[in-house]
Amino acid sequence: MTFRPQAVFSTGDQVNDGRVRDEWVIFNEIVLPIRKTSEFYPLLGNHERNADLYFKNFQLPGNERWYSVRKGPILFLMLDSNWLIGPGSNQHAWLEKELLSVPPDVKFVAAVFHHPIISSGPYPDEKNLRKRLLPLLEKYRVDLVFVGHEHVYERSFKDGITHVTTGGGGAPLHLKLRQNPYGRIFASVHHFCVLRTAGQTLEVRVYDTDMSLIDEFWLKSRR
C-alpha cells in the first residue's frame, strides 16, 4: 500500500534540536521523497527551539509561525502553541478572524498545533490551552484538533471536537500514564494519519509502520 498525498502536515518536532544544522540535513534527507510529490506544511514544536534554521528550512505562508492552508473542503489552521496564543494576543486575534471568515464551501475546519489539550500521556495540557485556546475552538465549532508532543496516537472527543494526538513520527514512544475521560482510543505506536473527503464526510484512517490499520473514524460536516 502506498500513498501520494496532495499535502502532508506535521505537528512539530521535526528534529531533536532545531539549533543543530546536521539534524536538519538528516531531516531533509528523510523527507525528500515526500516533498518531491507532496506539499509539506510543518509547525513549530518545542524541539525546534525557535531556531533560525527552522525558518530558513521552510517557506511557509503568513508569518510562518501561524498560517492557514486550504485543501479542498478542509481548512487547516496551523498554530504555534509555544507562542502567545491566549485572548489578547496577536495569534488569538488572527485565529478568530480566520474562524469568522471561513468560506461557505469549507466543510471541515482543523486546528493543528503542538501541545495537546486532552491527554493520557506525560504532558496533560502543559500550556494551559484548555483555558487559553479551547473556548475559541469550541465557540466556532472547529471539527478537528491535531497535536503532537506526546509520542503516541490518541483520539478523544469533547464538546463536538475530535482531538487527535499524532506524535508517533519516529521518536521513542511514550506510555499511557493517566485516565482520559474523553478518550476513545490510545496506542503507543509509530504511525501516520490519512484524510479523505467525500461530499459531506471526512474519513480519517491511521496506520502503523507495518501498514496495519490502528484506527479509523468518520465525521459529518456541521457547516
What is the domain range of residue 44?
A: 7-190
**Model pLDDT, residue 1:** 82
Residue 20 lies in a domain: yes
Residue 218 lies in a domain: no
- Collapsing DSSP states into helix, strand and coil, what is residue 122? coil
Residue 56 lies in a domain: yes
**Model pLDDT, residue 47:** 98
C-alpha cell at 45: 514544536
Residue 209 lies in a domain: no
CATH number where 44 lies = 3.60.21.10
- Report how far apart, in Å, the C-alpha atoms of 116 and of each of 6, 12, 111, 164, 168 are: 26, 12, 11, 9, 14
Residue 221 lies in a domain: no
Number of domains in the chain: 1
**Model pLDDT, residue 2:** 85
C-alpha cell at 62: 503568513
**Mean pLDDT in runs of 10 for the chain (223 residues)?**
93 98 98 96 98 97 97 98 98 98 97 98 96 98 98 98 97 97 98 97 98 98 94
Residue 151 lies in a domain: yes
Q: CB-side exposure of 184: number of CA atoms within 13 Å?
A: 13
Residue 23 lies in a domain: yes
Q: Are 209 and 191 in contact (CB under 8 A)?
A: yes
Rounded Cα distance, 179 and 120, in Å: 6
Strands (E), the chain: 7-9, 39-41, 67-71, 74-78, 108-112, 144-147, 153-158, 161-166, 183-187, 191-198, 201-208, 213-220
**Model pLDDT, residue 202:** 98
Residue 1 lies in a domain: no
